[in-house]
Amino acid sequence: MEPIADSEIERILVVTAHPDDVDFGAGGTVAQWADKGIKISYCICTNGDQGGVDASITREEMKKIRQQEQRDAGKILGVDDIHFLNYRDGWLEPTIALRKDIVRVIRKVRPQRMLIQSPERNWDRLGASHPDHLAAGESAIQAIYPDAGNQFAFEDLLRDEKLEPWTVKEAWVMMSTDTNHSIDITDTFERKMKAIHSHVSQTAHNEELESRVREWGERNAEVAKLPIGTLAEIFRVVATS
């Protein structure tokens, strides 16, 4: 599928399970969108308190650390509008409550495009299929359709919060096992890595991080049949309206 031209997109909402998910999955693409003047917002579902390797940091403190790391990473890529839903890390489920919370953010942001995680397990890259990722992806696509554009879904959002229904035109799915679109991120890879390194609590211990992320980008470029030496991020683009 050919996605909607970026020139027709004014606002994009990214929904992920954890702080740092967007930076690993689509940081180079987000940087390019921001450079084009598109307003990008993040909706982070969990508080990230199960992350990190330092047992001396309390889980309550880790929540604050991870949120600040995501703000710092967002600034590098050109994103300053971040909504934290604060669900418990590792316990995320595709509930009605989570759907409603995502619908609320959709109706506030009113994006033409959304970037979400895949609700389908990737057996070749199990790390991409953390249960929270699957739950965030499933909840996000359900929020896009049928809920966000339906005035009778979560009627209190309209009645009490004055949030009008909104129809999202397309979704870009990260970590999909069935991709149909690629973005050359060779020129924004350095910013992607700076954003990833902003998540100090998650990445400082990994000396092989950059080479591994580069390898992923090269593999994506190969899948997309891009020239050797190119780095890419790949997606499943879905028409949602």
The tens digit of pLDDT for each residue in 152-189 reads 999 999 999 999 999 999 999 999 989 999 999 999 99
Angle between helices 96-109 and 131-142 (to 10 degrees): 60
The overall average pLDDT reported for the chain is: 96
The tens digit of pLDDT for each residue in 214-236 reads 999 999 999 999 999 999 999 99
Token pair of 215 as six digits: 């390898």
Distance from C-alpha of 167 to C-alpha of 148, rounded to nearest angstrom: 6
The pLDDT of residue 222 is 96
Least confident range of 49-63, 66-80, 100-114: 49-63
Residues ≥6 apart with Cβ < 8 Å to 131: 90, 92
Distance from C-alpha of 97 to C-alpha of 130, rounded to nearest angstrom: 20
Do residues 82 and 49 touch, judged by C-beta distance below 8 A? no
The pLDDT of residue 14 is 98
Please name each of the domains of the chain with its CATH number.
6-239 (3.40.50.10320)
Q: 3-state class of 225 per DSSP?
A: coil
Do residues 15 and 113 touch, judged by C-beta distance below 8 A? no
Amino acid residing at 149: G
pTM listed for this prediction: 0.96
